[in-house]
Structure 1
């Protein structure tokens, strides 16, 4: 089954609710950049539920690069937009997300997390796997990872051990 690159609406794909919760998780090692360091990961998990029971989740992460996009601001935006999205078609997520990007240009992580939640809820509604949307590759995926920049073996050993798992 081949997927189109653009979503289509289907009967029963209306958004019923947008729910969210803050998540704080300790990191195994401190994350440091020139902008600062942190020992905990803070994000907001957003869930979109459709009227047929389909649901999808996304993550609105926080970043040193966007210090104004705090968990509190993310939750405020999601709290405002959730009721506005109720009844809209999940298959219209490209247009919905485009409008949200215009409305919240300084909060890309919030919009991205909501986009993924809507996208995954719509995919669940259609019964199509996420891998099919991205070309059907199941055995290989390209990604970007953080690699420590050090030659100290005492620091590298735990990183390599975790990466090998």
Structure 2
């Protein structure tokens, strides 16, 4: 068995093409963490985390400290023991989800590169192209029109619209996107910005405008599972749980309380192995699965795409984080298709 000889972590600063606003705040760049592990056979694995305090509960500095501290657990251990390593990391650093995601990814990437297999194969299938949506952040109706027009021209058939501040403005933004991209499927993400009553008011107004929605994602506060269930009972649009689900235990609670129709299993919250467990819980309860992302480079995005390709479990794919960057860590092109390959997640960052 090949052992891990070194783990390192560094800042990964990724400016955005344009500011990205959601109900929780505005980002002008992705202040990420890049983790590298090396094995005694000379293989290098890469992992990325994208801490965002209002969502993940971490600052970038805290994530860096955690990732570096993980070296004490990881170094000297056999890379084949990745499940035991991930379990120990998550129990040692509870709540440090971005840092442990980065370390977990680097370990899995190194394992797969040593075996000469694609990361997707750990999850049941070979690498295949994955189609993502494009996100329209909280912007003016004019800017929403521009962004939706550009996305549709770029081949995006699925659009996700950020909401959660002012309901009237949110409705007008959705109307603007529908008019600019009349054939696109639309998802709404309120990022915890509403109450159940406000969710219903928004859904009623959108319906009155003759607009159909695929789903409304996390309309209420993450801790308010009862409120999420209340919102679900009030409207006909499917409800997706996002920030409410970080762990498999969270997914079980959502299922038991009938709080959602869809579970967003995001690697940035849970890590690849736990996402597979969350998927199994959702499927066992006949819930649909969605996968989302943070503002990650191709390292994090392609890792998620491998999970999508391997499991074949996701009805909704929101993996556009690297499409919002001014410059990615590798050349990935534009458009809705992620062409992934192995071994591992297939991404070796250039000049980082």
Using the size of structure 1 for normalisation, the TM-score is 0.80
How much has 1:153 moved relative to structure 2? 2.0
How much has 1:132 moved relative to structure 2? 2.4
1: distance between equivalents of 2:128 and 2:14?
Answer: 29
RCO comparison, higher one (Cα < 8 Å, 6+): 1
Unaligned runs of 5+ in 2: 157-333, 336-352
Aligned: 1:107 with 2:92: no
How much has 1:154 moved relative to structure 2? 2.1
Map 1:1-165 onto structure 2 (within 5 A).
11=1, 13-63=2-52, 64-66=54-56, 68-141=57-130, 145=133, 147-148=135-136, 152-161=144-153, 165=335
2: distance between equivalents of 1:137 and 1:56?
Answer: 19
Return 118-127 or 78-87, whichever deviates more: 78-87
Structure having the larger proportion of residues in strand: 1
- Residues 158/26 of structure 1: CA separation in 2 closer, same or farther (3 Å cut): farther
* Higher alpha-carbon Rg: 2
Number of residues of Structure 1 aligned to a counterpart in Structure 2 = 152
- Residues 42/161 of structure 1: CA separation in 2 closer, same or farther (3 Å cut): farther
Question: CA offsets, 1:84-115, max 9 Å, x none?
Answer: 32110111111111111112221111111110
2:118 touches 2:127 (CA, 8 Å); kept in 1? Answer: no
- Residues 120/30 of structure 1: CA separation in 2 closer, same or farther (3 Å cut): same
1:54 touches 1:124 (CA, 8 Å); kept in 2? Answer: yes
1: distance between equivalents of 2:151 and 2:34?
Answer: 26
1: distance between equivalents of 2:38 and 2:45?
Answer: 7
2: distance between equivalents of 1:93 and 1:61?
Answer: 21
Unaligned runs of 5+ in 1: 1-10
Using the size of structure 2 for normalisation, the TM-score is 0.40
Question: CA offsets, 1:110-140, max 9 Å, x none?
Answer: 1111101000101111122223223334334
2: distance between equivalents of 1:153 and 1:141?
Answer: 26
Could you say which residue in structure 2 is the equivalent of 1:6?
none
2: distance between equivalents of 1:118 and 1:139?
Answer: 22
How much has 1:44 moved relative to structure 2? 0.5
